Amino acid sequence: MAGNKSYRYGDGFFETLKMWEGKILLEPYHKKRIARSMVQLGFRFPALTTSETIFEQITALCTQNNCLEAARVRLSFSNGEGGLFDNNNPLHYLIEAWPLDKRVNTPDENGLTTGIFTSIKKNCDEYASIKSASALIYSMAARYSLQNNWDDSIILNQKDHICESSIANIFWIKENKIFTPPLSEGCVEGVMRAYLIDTIGTVTETPCKQKDLLEADEVFLTNAIRGIQPVRSFGNRNYPTTIATELFREYIQALY
């Protein structure tokens, strides 16, 4: 463990998956993102290991942990062990699974409270879309949320544009049109984000300035576990949660 490159240098990535009634939700999206991350980081599966065998092991672990009906799963990959210049090490992966409260399948119609985290700005480089094991910015943003009694913090990129939150992608609604920042703005390539873009079919990807959120009709956050979560407030701006709640019922409940 002490020599693991993910632990030492953040040289790794992870997936957060949702197991529901024996099925991994959005499994094709997770597999596609894993494959892209592996190529981008130059990782290779160990001999006799494929994404199929790993996903079979996820199901087996959930069965063993008595959480096959509803589970949060973390699948972590790291670039083996050793120092920065040690190469061609076998890829390591770790599967963890915990029981999940089924109430996560209910939208919080009261909405989330949010604000801006400004201490660290996220890069918009080619690696920004990966769910990297190097996650200091998210840890600090989550801590900032707790300090301010918010549910989540909104992260800016180095252009001072809205990027994402500490645990989710961000969408906003204006005049019945849905928008989200493109991956070129530095946001993580969330599987729920990808699913909604594909399924809704009319989401516009465009950079988001703070005034865009302040002038939005509604705002919501998305991730693999909670689906869609309406935002009640962003700073001093308050929003209704009607459309986001309807989107949850139409696109998230359909997954179950």
Q: What is residue 85's predicted lDDT score, i.e. its pLDDT?
A: 84
Query: Is there a single domain that holds both residue 92 and residue 47?
Result: yes
Residue whose tokens read 């109430």:
103
88 part of a folded domain: yes
| Residue partners of 14: CB distance under 8 A and separation at least 6 | 74, 75, 76, 77, 131, 133
Nearest to 26 by CA among 34, 46, 80, 124: 34
Nearest to 74 by CA among 55, 96, 56, 93: 96
Model pLDDT, residue 144: 98
Give me the pLDDT at residue 141, please.
98
Distances (CA, A) of 175 to 142, 215, 237, 243, 249: 31, 10, 17, 11, 20
Using the 3D structure, point to which of 51, 79, 100 is the last residue of a domain.
100
Q: Is residue 51 part of a domain?
A: yes
Indicate if 229 and 121 belong to the same structural domain.
yes
Q: Retrieve residue 99's tokens.
A: 């029981």
| Burial zone of 255 (CB within 10 Å; 0-12 exposed, 13-18 middle, 19+ buried) | middle
Q: Give the separation between CA 95 and CA 181, rounded to whole angstroms.
A: 30
Judge if pTM exceeds 0.85.
yes
Mean pLDDT of the 246-255 span: 93
Q: Is residue 107 part of a domain?
A: no
In a domain, 143, yes or no: yes
Residues 197 and 172 in one domain: yes
Do 192 and 69 share a domain, yes or no? Answer: no
For position 88, what pLDDT does the model report?
Answer: 67
Share the mean pLDDT of the chain: 94
Which residues, in sequence order, are bridge partners of residue 116?
Answer: 154
- Structural domain count, the chain: 2
pLDDT value for 87: 74
Structural domain harbouring 222 = 112-255
pLDDT tens-digit readout, 94-146: 999 999 998 888 888 889 999 999 999 999 999 999 999 999 999 999 999 99
Residue 12: beta bridge partners?
78
CA distance linking residue 106 with residue 4, whole number of Å: 38
Asked if residue 36 and residue 160 are part of one domain, the reply reads no
Say whether both 86 and 152 belong to one domain.
no
Residue 106 maps to a domain: no
pLDDT band, very low/low/confident/very high, at 86 (cuts 50, 70, 90): confident
Does a structural domain hold residue 232? yes
* pLDDT mean over 40-62: 93
